[in-house]
Structure 1
Amino acid sequence: MAVAAYEPEDYNSLPSLNSAFQELQNKGGESVITGPIRDIFLSHGVQGAYGIALLHKHFAIRSIDRLVDIRNVSSPWETGGDVEPTLKKYNGIIAPRSLRFLDGALKPYEFDFVEEERSMEMNEKFLQKLSHFLLDTKLDQVLGLRLLDSRDTSVSVEVTERNSNIMLPLGAVDEKNVIPALWIFGTDDDDRCNCREYCYTDRSGKHSGEGNHGCG
């Protein structure tokens, strides 16, 4: 299952943060992540390469844009109508980092800006097993994959200011207002599943600042 072409609608069709988290609760909550989904990751030995992500959108983007992260700040970058999942810009590479299973394909919806092109060769048996499980449990519109190779472990809360998403240390915001958004698995019982990234919401249901992160 190769990474498919990029389409802005694969991002724009994502649910709001609150809607996505509520849908996860309706379909078993985090126990489905710490149980059968964790088992799929560990049985294929991919827990160091990928995490499981809550599918939600930050804000709408234009049809010529991609949401690209550089140094812990994600914002829309103009990339024209190019549909290739990986493309060159400036003196670097825009490469997929977040993927969703949609219509039988593995679709990229968020990207990293990196110096060198990364391999997108992925564990086919793992992808098939996970995609079938998510489809069977109707979680394919709720959960997706996150590549971990570029993740900065020193920051774990995403806040939004206008059309930029910024990763901050967990202590930088009121922890009562965070929603889990990325889970990473370990092999030991003491480290079996950890939420490693959160999204911050204020009382109005927005992420922060003046930009609505799609929380409704």
Structure 2
Amino acid sequence: MARPIPLVEYNHDVYHSVANPSLHDALADFHALNAMHYINTSIRDCFLRHGVEKSFTACINHRHFDLSPSERNVEEPDGRAVATTESDNITPCSWLFHAGKLYPYEFKRAGNDDGEAAGEGVMEPPAAFVGELGAILVETGLCDVIGLQAYSEGVVGMESTDREKRVSTTRSYPEGAEELKSTRNSVVASFAFF
């Protein structure tokens, strides 16, 4: 049995030292470590074994823009993720494994999903699942490359980032949507398991 991994508070230093500064850099690490092999085998099996595939995905750790110590990357109800100091009514929605702990690094303001009432947030990943996934990432050397992200079953998001304005916009699509298939400059950065 994997040892428990504590879920801890956001840490600005971890965000800036672990999350790659761009998706391009993160993808280079992902490919260099043959991460797709593990996504398709031991990581997928872990998600399915714990029955969390409808609530979480594996993701490639990256940051859209730099933050000051008082800021967080928060997805607002309109789908834009912004650098903000306003942390009322936010919950973690992306986590990264580092030094034996699970750190949140992206947040979501409650009220983003259809039917989600103000004050409700993303569920916390189960401890047994986090422990096993963390052990797999340590064993494969993927701790700083692969993270964990909240997931709405059947929906995928395409992100675009304006680094200068420090805004990332996400558009949600049903899985398999024609718009996703025709996008030439898109990159898969999150992996759902069925």
- Structure 1 length-normalised TM: 0.72
CA displacement at 1:177 relative to structure 2: 1.5
CA displacement at 1:157 relative to structure 2: 1.3
Of residues 185, 189, 214 in structure 1, which corresponds to 2:193?
185
Find the aligned partners of 2:100 and 2:136 in 1 and give their Cα distance.
13
CA displacement at 1:121 relative to structure 2: 4.4
Change (3 A) 1:164 1:119: closer
What percentage of aligned pairs have identical amino acids?
Answer: 27
Return 5+ residue gaps in structure 2 as ranges.
111-117
Find the aligned partners of 1:72 and 1:119 in 2 and give their Cα distance.
15
CA displacement at 1:145 relative to structure 2: 0.4
Asked whether 1:157 is paired with 2:163, we answer: no
Asked whether 1:136 is paired with 2:139, we answer: yes
Q: Aligned runs of 1:33-72 on 2, under 5 Å?
A: 33-70=39-76, 71-72=78-79
CA displacement at 1:126 relative to structure 2: 1.1
CA contact (8 A) 2:92 2:122 kept: no
Of residues 6, 9, 13 in structure 1, which corresponds to 2:10?
6
Match of 1:28 in 2: 34
CA contact (8 A) 1:100 1:107 kept: yes
Q: Deviations over 1:161-202 (max 9, x none)?
A: 22100013573897222221111110xxxxxxxxxxxxxxxx
Q: Deviations over 1:64-109 (max 9, x none)?
A: 1000001211001114xxxxxxx6x2xxx11100001111111010
Change (3 A) 1:164 1:138: same
Which SS does the other structure have where 1:56 is aligned? Answer: coil
Find the aligned partners of 2:64 and 2:40 in 1 and give their Cα distance.
25
Moved more, 132-141 or 111-120: 111-120
CA contact (8 A) 1:98 1:144 kept: yes
- Structure 2 length-normalised TM: 0.80
CA contact (8 A) 2:58 2:192 kept: yes
Of residues 112, 126, 132 in structure 1, which corresponds to 2:129?
126
Which SS does the other structure have where 2:62 is aligned? Answer: coil
Q: Please give the root-mean-square deviation of Cα atoms over the aligned residues, in Å.
A: 2.3
CA contact (8 A) 2:93 2:122 kept: no
Find the aligned partners of 1:109 and 1:160 in 2 and give their Cα distance.
16
Q: Aligned runs of 1:86-105 on 2, under 5 Å?
A: 89=88, 93-105=89-101
